[in-house]
Structure 1
Amino acid sequence: MANEDLHRFCHAIPKVELHCHLLGTVRHATFKDLAQAANAPLSDEELDAFYIRGEKPVGVLKALRTLDAFMVRTPDDLHRIAYEYLEDAAAHNVRYAEFFWNPTGTVHKSGMRYDFAQDALVRAIRDAHTDHGIIGRLVPAIDREASPDAALEMIGWITQHRRDEVIGIGIDYSEIDRPPEMFAQAYAAARAVGLKTTAHAGEFGMPWTNVRTAVEMLKVDRIDHGYTIIDAPDYAKQCAEAGIVFTVVPTNSYYLRTLPPERWALDHPIRKMPGLGLRIHPNTDDPALHHVTPTGAWQKMVEDFGFSIADLRGFMLNGLASAWIDESTRTRWRTEFLRDFDSCRQRESRDF
């Protein structure tokens, strides 16, 4: 399949997005607008540097912290960011998106009340559905660089101000020296009020045992990243048998920084995970900062990691299997997604 044919195909196929951070979706122009409105102490050169994606990318987490600390100041700011993300995703035929938001940063750094912020994000979800047909769902994420008490505080906010569009929790920011077990109490509290759960684990080269802890102690429904699971084939087999889906990111910065450019695509854990029986699903993570779109993420699975069109079909089904939707919707979407995927395949990839 020629590159342009593959691009058209990956653009046209129906998608769900399950691993995307709201503040990593901010358009460059929007970032500048927010900085100007907030009179942020950031030069144009510093701002532009967040959007430079070199051979060894850095600065994604710093960009997210900068937004919380200096730029996101009103509910309307959050509405704009979320609406623009969903608008952009819908343009790539993402039909359903679960996206992460860090309330601890919003409340304690941006100085915004949780309920005001949540209402703005829910309004954005509803507006984007009306305007673009995409269904969005909000996943508040524990700030693992904050304290376990802050995580419990977040669960309390969610419980007190429960909305239908808020369906589960995650955990994000740097995993280094912040193992999953630190937040077991918050995860138990989330499960007790009926929230779904996922967790970043096995990212940043952190040990595979963090994946095991997330599965067995936090009792998550799925794993975000999870790459170091390849270091434990026996446990990977258990995860495969349990049907746990790993939401992977083809543009993950850690491996771009640590693997030689000529070996990156060959040695990346994503390439090895399905061979261990693991169910994976590709996502954008921080699309604006990673210079990737949903189309591009799926295209990279073929171009960089050598997966086939048939593999993409399976990845699509993995996403539907692990999406936090009711079973009747899952069954209906499975039929619709398979029909549309196969139609795209017939139209764009007759030689495959």
Structure 2
Amino acid sequence: MQDQTSSSAVGPADSQIGFVPDSPIARPLTQAQHAFFARLPKVELHCHLLGTVRRATFQALAAKHGAPLTAGDIDGFYTRGTRPIGVLRVLRALEAYLLLEPDDLRQITYEYLEDAAAGSIRHAEFFWNPTATIRDAGLPYDRALAGILQGMRAAQADFGISSLLIPAIDREAPAADAMTMVEAVVAHPDPRVAGIGIDYREPDGPPEMFADAYALARRHGLRTTAHAGEFGMPWTNVATVVDQIGVDRVDHGYTIVENPELARAYAARGLLFTIVPTNSYYLRTLDAERWALDHPIRRMAQLGLKLHPNTDDPTLHHVSPAGAWELMYSHLGFGLTDLRTMMLNGIDGAWASEAQKTLWLAQWPAEFDTLAAEAGFASGAWLSLRDF
């Protein structure tokens, strides 16, 4: 599955991919091919706002609010070695000490969307956890939301990137807090708030705990998604969010491969899985020499599931939007045919307006093909993973 490249081939570090082990099926890329992934038109459907904060912004907010964090603490938050560590402690620090005013949320929203637009993200749907903001910062939902919406509007005006917000249930909090969160979303409707999700540590909050909150959201016309099958949790969690809670798409979902029959059924339904190639659980638990071959994302594709790659926590995972897509090709063995399909999957699974999606569908395939031709990929680059 190796492509022939010129002597100017360079490694993945040149396109903002951090801490990822080498792959036994890795393909070197030329500078022009790295540029292809940066210029590729994309949507982003799985990204956490608090995982996008620039280091300089983190430092400035810590100084502004007198946070009990040292320079060493902050450096540690942004350091990734050969074995990645979880980012939840960073997110909790942001919630407790740094994001205390609507303008703080406006700033990080605007900066995330600026960075996303620079990586050719044309539309972003991103998560924010209101429960901790209300509880730890004492900031009411409506005021916090106003700051985020201000950043979204300004970013669209300045960079042309559209966006939707997905308030997320904190699964480490009691189920009653999830109901309170959804009630706040319902009480303050906005067209840029398209639906709800659920995040934080899956072992601490099985999805069935929050079925009532999801039902309330659906009754009020909100779309739904959920993190499930992450952290090596059982495939039954994926089945719960799909068949009992009725989500529109699944975030992560990797352990569904443990039930191939059900995975094929979800493939036939066209259910979208928003995957993350830098998912730290698998990078930490799979053998460095086998991680790419054994990564469940490959098996998901072989089972026919509808996939779309995303960054998750870009500044904390040290991955750019280009890097996430590039990993799918350079390390995990997907072909350009697969990536073109995933680009279309993202459009189909987005919660943007049908008019906007129709326009993207009319324009992006030709743009993809033109960019691929300019990058000079060999013919074998188009072969699908499923051809092997």
Q: Which category of TM-score, normalised to the shorter sequence, fits these structures?
A: over 0.9
Per the alignment, residue 348 of structure 2 pairs with: 321
Per the alignment, residue 178 of structure 2 pairs with: 151
How far apart in 2 are the matches of 1:81 and 1:64? 13
* TM-score normalised by length of structure 1: 0.98
Tell whether 2:264 aligns with 1:237: yes
Tell whether 2:130 aligns with 1:106: no
Matches within 5 A, 1:219-234: 219-234=246-261
The Cα offsets for residues 129-165 of structure 1, whole Å up to 9 and x where unpaired, read as 0000000110000000011110010111111111110
How far apart in 2 are the matches of 1:92 and 1:218? 34
The Cα offsets for residues 285-317 of structure 1, whole Å up to 9 and x where unpaired, read as 000000000000000001110011111001101
More displaced 10-residue stretch of structure 1: 2-11 or 304-313: 2-11
Which 4+ runs in 1 deviate beyond 4 A? none
| Paired residue secondary structure (2:137) | coil
Q: Does the Cα contact within 8 Å between 2:41 and 2:120 map onto a contact in 1?
A: yes
Matches within 5 A, 1:1-352: 1=5, 2-352=29-379
More displaced 10-residue stretch of structure 1: 192-201 or 256-265: 256-265
Alpha carbons of structure 1 residues 301 and 350: separation in structure 2 relative to 1, 3 Å: closer
How far apart in 1 are the matches of 2:349 and 2:270? 9
Q: Which amino acid aligns with 1:152?
A: M
How far apart in 1 are the matches of 2:377 and 2:86? 42
The Cα offsets for residues 146-186 of structure 1, whole Å up to 9 and x where unpaired, read as 11110010111111111110000000000014111000000
More displaced 10-residue stretch of structure 1: 283-292 or 170-179: 170-179
Of structures 1 and 2, the one scoring higher in RCO (CA 8 A, sep 6+) is 2
Measured after TM superposition, the shift of residue 327 of structure 1 is 2.3
Identity across matched positions, percent: 55
How far apart in 2 are the matches of 1:191 and 1:59? 31
How far apart in 2 are the matches of 1:123 and 1:219? 31
Measured after TM superposition, the shift of residue 350 of structure 1 is 4.8
Q: Does the Cα contact within 8 Å between 1:55 and 1:256 map onto a contact in 2?
A: no
Q: Which amino acid aligns with 1:115?
A: D
| Paired residue secondary structure (1:138) | strand
Structure 1: unaligned runs, 5 residues or longer = none
Alpha carbons of structure 1 residues 177 and 72: separation in structure 2 relative to 1, 3 Å: closer
- RMSD over aligned CA atoms reads 1.0
How far apart in 2 are the matches of 1:297 and 1:81? 21
* TM-score normalised by length of structure 2: 0.89
| Paired residue secondary structure (2:246) | coil
The Cα offsets for residues 103-127 of structure 1, whole Å up to 9 and x where unpaired, read as 0011111111110110111111100
Alpha carbons of structure 1 residues 130 and 310: separation in structure 2 relative to 1, 3 Å: same
| Paired residue secondary structure (1:56) | coil
